[in-house]
Every structure is written in C-alpha cells, then in structure tokens.
Structure 1
C-alpha cells in the first residue's frame, strides 16, 4: 500500500514510485512509436495509410471507459472487502487477548493456556500471510514463539491457518473440561473464534475466486485494439501532435487496466496491494505486549512510501 501525503501540483507529474507507469510504459512506447510511423506514412503515402473519421473512436472510447469503470469498481470492491476482513482479524485478535485476561487470576495452568492461545493467534496471522502470498512466513513467528513439536506440526499440515484455529479451539475445550471456563464464558470465546474463522474463510474465498477471466480478457483486448487504432483517427486532425495524444490515451486506458489488475489481487506484493504483512506484525506487537513481552518487533514503517 502506498503511504504518502497528497502530492503538490509541482510533484504531481514527477511521482514514479508507486504509480503504474512502470508497468505500462512498454505498451505506451509502442503506441507512441506506432503513432509517429502512421503520421509520417500518412503524409508520405496517404493512399496507402488513410485517416479515418474520429467519431467512431469517440463512441468506442466512451463504451470502453464504462467497461473499465465497471471492472475497476468490482476490483476495488474485492480490495476493500479484503481490507475489512483483515481489520476484523485484527479486532478479533485483540478481543481474544482482552477476554483471556480472566485466566490470569484463576491458576498458573490457565495463565499458561492464555499465553499459548495468544501466541497461536499471532502465528495464525503470520501463516495466513504465507497462505495468501506464498513463500515463507514474513515474521517466522511459528519457529520463534512456539514449541518445536507444535511448530513442526503446523508446517506439516496441509492448511496451517485452519490447523491453528483448531489448536486454539482445543485449548479452550480443555479449559472448559477442567472447570476453568464456564459454559457462558466458553460461548463468548466461541463467538470470537467464529469471527477469526470467518475472516480466514473470506480471505481464502477472495484468493481462490478471481474476477471472471473472460471479462478481464475482453477488457484487455479492447483497450489494446483501441489504443493501437487511435492514431488513424488523429493523424489528419492533430498531425505531429498525434503521438502525444495517443500516448495520453494509452496512459489512461492501460493505466486503468493495470490498476484494476493490482486491485483484483489485494493480497499480492505490488505497490497498491494491502499491507497484510504489516498488519500481521501489528497483531504480534499488540498481543505479545498484552502478555508482558518486551522483545517485540519494531512497528512497521513504509519503505519508499510503500508498506507491505
């Protein structure tokens, strides 16, 4: 996620880091070069490279803008839903830490159980980042915070986040069986666990259900064909300024298309994706500080205005 103040007018046209320009620059360059060739060819051999009326391009551009708006709205909705799910995960984790404070006054065994439950919750967020992004756990919390046998069992499971939720549930059931947790208290904890599990399932659904490929493919093809055909409509009207105008059109349509691609996959590592690794670190800081730990990781900070 890009973290920076709103740029001034002087900075607006010179911001490169975090924009989509680096992703669409090759396509823009092709459109500009192609436009220059078409303008020169039209001047030298108009019988072979004719110009066409600009009215059809206006209608096509309006239709394409509407299609891109619909797709970007759908992709932004996925991005915002993902952010709400991680916000719910953060809130449910803090609620679980607050609710388990009652264990401290009951027995040493209950206090140890509280510590294990909260550490498992920290590992849950870390393992969820790994599940959504692939690769290694960003904070390596399972190895750092859990006993080796438990850490190895989590790594060996086919779905580590689900396995961790099950481990937390078993701890709560054991506490109830030993009389350290009443039925009413257990039901309250069960609601919090349902919230954690619901956030996990919602993130999994977003990861495994992309925007329909046929719709995305139609937008990609139409945007490219439109930008490649625009110079034929501008050649007579704008003349030498055609490459500039075509480049601006390409920047707009290719940029919206690329931005939609980033928002469609909110759990990735592109500049506009969600900072789920940073949220995972915040969960560890909050929960371990409630346990009284002092060897906490530093608070996440953006690097070059980007927080991941």
Structure 2
C-alpha cells in the first residue's frame, strides 16, 4: 500500500508538497547560516492550531463520506427495485410475457440506469447506447431517467387495460415506480447541492497557512529533519483536504468516486438474467482495484 499510485491523492498534491519541502529547506538553511531568525514561532501554538484543524477536517470529511455513502445506497436501491420490478412483471398471473415484451421491459430498466449515470456525470448520451424505441421517446427530454419512469408507468397502465394485472399487484408495481422516482431525486439532490463553499475556503486557507508556518516553528529544534517532518505533517492535512473534495461529488469520474459504469453494468446483467437473456460480461477492476 505504500507504493500505490492510482487511487491515491498524492499525484494531485505532489507539487504542493515539493513547495513546502523547499520552503522548509530554505528556512533551515537560513537558521543554520544566520542563527535564530527574527520570525520564529513556538511549536506549542501550532500544535493547538493543528488539533483544531484536524477536528474541522474530520467534520468535513465525515460530511463528504456521508454523501458518498448515501449515493452508494441509492444505487444499491436502484438495483434492488429494478430486480423486483422485473420479477413481478415476469410472473404475472396471466400468461408470461412474450420474448419481445420481455426485451422491451429489460430495455427500459437498463436505459434507466444508463441515463441516470450520464445525467449525474454530465456526459453526453449517444443514440446507440439505448434501444432505438426508447431513444426516440427520451431523446428530447431534459431529465431522461424521469421520462423512462413515465414509460414504465405507461407499460403498467397498458397491462391493467389488458386485464393482466389485479389491483394489488398493480399497486405493488406502482410502489416500485415511486421508489425509482425517489432514487432519481435523491441522486439529483446530492449532485446539485455541494457542501457550502465557505467550509472549503476556510479549511483550504487554514491548511496552507498552517503548512507555511510549520517550518518556522520546527527549524530551531529539529534542524535538517525539519523538511521531512514538515512534508509528512503537510501531507496529512493537504491529502485529507483533497480526499474530501473528491468524495464531495460521489458521481464524478475520479478514482475514489463511485464506479457508476460498473454498477450500471450490474443492473443490466441482473435484469437480463431474470429475463433469461444473455448477459454482458461484468466490469472487473484491474491490478489497481479502481473502477469508473
């Protein structure tokens, strides 16, 4: 784990750590050449500031991780509800749906996961990704996942019109549609509501000010070990600040964000398997254990 590169925030902050290492070397060189500097800090006040800073960083990290975990639970619920809806649709009390009808329903459930993935990440959706019939219905929609839920509701209405659904089963399927709408809304809420900007600004300024002052407090007592200690302490705070920025938006494409592509593929495999159709291969992480 000491040599893991991908998935670590070290590549993002390496230049900043290099700056603080150079600054610490310069401070120690001046101290060794000129003697005690006129601008010298005692370690005790910085230690108190470090404790306070760690508490605030821990709070922001907890907030970011809560958003990350809520996003993961929402996508887990999307898998569960998609399976439930498919199972109920395939076990209607009347004759089982024909293969063409099963494929159409699979296409809608798969399209729901795909369009939600693209909407949350803000990536363009091409026509070839969705079934042609579904693409024609959702092409001009701004909120494509919500439009697909409406198409599922139209399918449900058609089944009731044909007398294939009783009131109780129809109510159960409709409840799953409501759950799908709640999942979509929950994901949209996380994606469109960042942590208040003032928290990031305050912590960012404090972290870097702390790292700038650190060499002046340590140079007198630690000598040439000051650059190493300074970089280690700065790495701890700066890396935690960078991690919270990544986790704040769990639906992005950074290494530590949720692997939406892999979860979308899992949902596609689940509904196709229930329908008795061939399933695409699962997305498996490589040696770096990181999926998108």
Give the TM-score normalised by the residue count of structure 2.
Answer: 0.94
Q: Deviations over 1:78-134 (max 9, x none)?
A: 11101100000010011111111124852657x644432231011100111100112
**Does 2:190 match 1:206?**
yes
CA contact under 8 A between 2:67 and 2:190: conserved in structure 1?
A: yes
Aligned residue for 1:14? Answer: 3
Q: CA deviation at 1:43?
A: 2.4
Aligned partner of 2:18 in structure 1 is 29
| Map 1:215-226 → 2, pairs under 5 A | 215-226=199-210
Alignment of 1:217-296 (within 5 A): 217-294=201-278, 296=279
Question: Quick check: 1:42–1:51 contact (8 Å CA) kept in 2?
Answer: no
Which residue is 1:84 aligned to? 73
Rounded to whole Å, the distance in 2 between the matches of 1:179 and 1:143 is: 34
Cα distance in 2 for residues equivalent to 1:107 and 1:95: 16
Deviation of 1:203 after TM superposition, in Å, equals: 0.4
Closer, same or farther: CA 105–144 of 1 in aligned 2, 3 Å = farther
1:161 has 2:150 as partner: no
CA spacing shift, 1:106–1:99, aligned 2, 3 Å: same
Residue 131 of structure 1 is matched in structure 2 by 119
1: CA distance between counterparts of 2:133 and 2:263? 27
Q: CA deviation at 1:46?
A: 4.2
2:103 maps to 115
Out of 86, 94, 108, the position equivalent to 1:97 is: 86
Secondary structure of the residue aligned to 2:276 is coil
The alignment status of 1:70 with 2:59, answered yes or no, reads yes
Q: Is the 8 Å Cα contact of residues 20 and 211 (structure 2) preserved in structure 1?
A: yes
Question: Structure 1: how far apart are the matches of 2:219 and 2:103?
Answer: 71
Count, aligned residues: 291
Report SS of the residue matched to 2:24. helix
Check whether the contact 1:103–1:114 (CA below 8 A) recurs between aligned residues: no
Who is 1:143 aligned against? Answer: 128
> In 2, Cα distance between the equivalents of 1:51 and 1:64?
21
Cα shift at 1:13: 2.1
**CA–CA distance in structure 2, aligned partners of residues 210 and 260 of structure 1:** 12
Residue in structure 2 matched with residue 301 of structure 1 by the alignment: 284
Q: Is the 8 A contact 1:41 1:49 kept in 2?
A: no
Unaligned runs of 5+ in 1: 1-11
Structure 1 residue 136: Cα displacement? 3.6
1:176 partnered with 2:160: yes
TM-score, structure 1 normalization: 0.89
Q: Which residue of 2 aligns with 1:8?
A: none
